[in-house]
Structure 1
């Protein structure tokens, strides 16, 4: 079986890295959309004075329409409710609809089912994609972009008895201490692994 997002060989529908990313996204979404909700209300320059967000004539809306153009109000809650409903139906087909709840409750419930989702739910990759999309949209509003992968060089693992070096590009997220090469599967996890990776880089990649 391979990861639905990166194609790495794994035991479920998501590799360890993307499972952890999904878990973090489910944890962060409610707080992010609380911040988005605050951005929907225009800042005030004084007591009772609303700063206009657009120059159109006529009554001014109490909602920041520029933010609405980017993030549809309530979309995150709707999307996560649909995923919770589907996961519940697939896992327990004889149960009814999930109890009422908001975005935080649905994200928390999905996080509790994450082991089963990764192991047995074919749409695990789609959940991960949508959670990441919702997270990126929210961060674009609140000004907190996701960190980008850092290119470290090329894989230095030897792949055969003739001494062939893998040579695939190796990148990791800030703070990530363990990763597997997407091509040969070699795992970089210890300080010795990272030191060897740096030491044996070709001059143009160092």
Structure 2
């Protein structure tokens, strides 16, 4: 039995659970348009090739950005990273094929989305790949003033898991506005009564 490399939920023999595979696909599909928007904010500096600075004020609040990080958040860097992953995945899946396709962010992202099922089930570095895509995605969103929502920690699962009344006790987390369900026992908290009971049965803090 294997567990997801990102959340430790059981996956059978796969490297990524369905939730994280789907999230990876959504991020890959969004990257080309997101980095095109990043390009509207950044232009080359006069002091050297490949350096970038902010050139347009965004509407609404902007996240503070470290310039050292900003220098790596651009279309060229994203293309380089995704092309290297596509090349490696292609090498692992089809070791006898020669050559590699030209690096192109939109084409590489589309290809990787098509191969997600194989990646999640067979690619040893699937977890590292998903983490690097997440880094590209969140860095780009921070540049355009739309940071990635933070995971909410909502307490401990209070569902019973056997006829002896054993309580699950797993930590409950979700992204804002997502349905609340336990990743371990599968219990869901959908009604107002469910949420009231969840709050009532949380461990009491010791004064």
TM-score, normalised to structure 1's length? 0.78
Once the 2 structures are TM-superposed, how far is the Cα of residue 41 of structure 1 from its aligned partner?
3.2
Q: How does 1:69-84 map to 2 (within 5 A)?
A: 69=68, 70-72=70-72, 73=74, 74-84=76-86
Partner of 2:17: 15
8 Å contact from structure 2 (residues 78, 105) kept in 1? yes
Q: How does 1:1-206 map to 2 (within 5 A)?
A: 1-11=2-12, 12-41=14-43, 64-65=52-53, 69=68, 70-72=70-72, 73=74, 74-177=76-179, 179-181=181-183, 185-188=184-187, 193-195=189-191, 197-203=194-200
Once the 2 structures are TM-superposed, how far is the Cα of residue 98 of structure 1 from its aligned partner?
2.6
8 Å contact from structure 1 (residues 27, 108) kept in 2? yes
What is the alpha-carbon distance in structure 1 between the residues aligned to residue 103 and residue 48 of structure 2? 29
What is the alpha-carbon distance in structure 1 between the residues aligned to residue 198 and residue 21 of structure 2? 30
Number of residue equivalences: 185
8 Å contact from structure 1 (residues 39, 142) kept in 2? yes
Gaps of 5+ in 2: 55-64
What is the alpha-carbon distance in structure 1 between the residues aligned to residue 47 and residue 77 of structure 2? 24
RMSD value over aligned CA atoms? 2.7
Question: Matched residue of 1:41: which SS?
Answer: strand
What is the alpha-carbon distance in structure 1 between the residues aligned to residue 96 and residue 181 of structure 2? 40
Structure number, greater radius of gyration: 1
TM-score, normalised to structure 2's length? 0.78
Once the 2 structures are TM-superposed, how far is the Cα of residue 91 of structure 1 from its aligned partner?
0.4
Gaps of 5+ in 1: 43-52, 54-58
What is the alpha-carbon distance in structure 2 between the residues aligned to residue 150 and residue 128 of structure 1? 20
Over residues 43-83 of structure 1, what are the superposed CA-to-partner deviations in whole Å (9 max), with x where a residue is unaligned?
xxxxxxxxxx9xxxxx7889743686314241110010000
